[in-house]
Amino acid sequence: MNKDGDTEDRIFEAAQAAFHEHGFDGARMADIARRASINQSMLHYYFRTKEQLFDAVFRKAILAVLPPAIAILGEDGPLLAKLERFAHRYVGILQANPHIPAFILFELRRNPEAIGRLAGETAGPVFARFRGDVERAVREGDIRPIEPSHLLANVVGLCVFPFVARPMLQGGLGMGNEAYDGLLRTRADHVADFLRHALRP
């Protein structure tokens, strides 16, 4: 018998890999069981249903990327410095979890309403604060005039996009895995620099 949660962890890891790769609809319980080297009924013993197993995996993914974004954007200090910190820390988080952005975008299509609501509840206040920060920075002449919502989309998108679009960008640029990994390693610096130039008055 297992008494230290090892089987549950194994199931979770296998499910995470399968759901990240295939999404909810494409992942198969039989495949997850095989990956975890268990009998399939044990998935149900530990997690009851496919839906609940998926929820556990999704929750972990969201917790990996949403609270840090909120925390960083909610910090005090000059806007430009904050955006640079965001780029460095957020790209770092994405590099540690390269499959999560696409996984979440994948889930966005399956469940746009629920995730929109979740985003509103969790990130809404800090996004609103971001708007205020941008407006103040413009007023004080720290940055040139810019629409805050567009800027927010830019900041997040510049960090996220090279991860979600990797196969297409990598193929189009004729890069191997090492070269593209190298590009991702310089991504944070590039984004910070790009934003600095884009926003200077």
Partner DNA sequence: GAATTATTCAACCAATCAGTTGAATTATGC
Partner DNA sequence: GCATAATTCAACTGATTGGTTGAATAATTC
Interface contacts to DNA, rule CB under 7 A: 1-3, 7, 27-30, 38-42, 44-45, 48-51
Helices (H) and strands (E) in the chain, counts: 11, 0
Q: What is the sign, positive or negative, of the torsion defined by CA atoms of 49, 68, 159, 149?
A: positive
Q: How far is the CB of 8 from a copy of itself (least distance, A)?
A: 26
Say if CB 46 and CB 14 are below 8 A apart.
Answer: no
Residue 132 binds which one of DNA, a copy of itself, none, with CB within 5 to 8 A depending on kind? none
- Pairwise CA distance, residues 18 & 110, whole Å: 17
Judged by phi (left if over 0) then psi (alpha if -120 to 50, else beta), residue 61 lies in alpha
Contact criterion met (CB below 8 Å) for 11 and 32:
yes
Binding mask 172-201 for a copy of itself (x = CB under 8 A): xxxx-------x--xx--x---xx-xxxx-
CB of 71 to a copy of itself, least distance (A): 14
Q: Using CB under 8 A, pick the residue from 37, 108, 136, 139 that binds a copy of itself.
A: 108
The entry of DNA, a copy of itself, none that residue 30 binds, CB within 5 to 8 Å by partner kind? DNA
Q: Can you tell me the distance from the alpha carbon of 56 to that of 79, in angstroms, rounded to the nearest whole number? A: 35
Q: What residues from 18 to 47 belong to the interface with a copy of itself (CB under 8 A)?
A: 21-26
Nearer to DNA, 30 or 168 (CB): 30
The number of residues making up the chain comes to 201
Q: Which is nearer to a copy of itself, 3 or 172 (CB)?
A: 172
**Partner in contact with 17, chosen from DNA, a copy of itself, none, beta carbon below 5 to 8 Å by kind:** none
CA gap 92, 89 in Å, rounded? 5
Q: By CB under 8 A, tell whether 120 contacts a copy of itself.
A: yes
* Cα–Cα distance, 46 to 172 (Å, whole number): 43
Where do contacts with a copy of itself occur on this chain (CB under 8 A)?
A: 21-26, 102, 104-106, 108-110, 112-113, 115-120, 123-124, 127-128, 144, 146-147, 149-150, 152-154, 156-158, 160-162, 164-175, 183, 186-187, 190, 194-195, 197-200
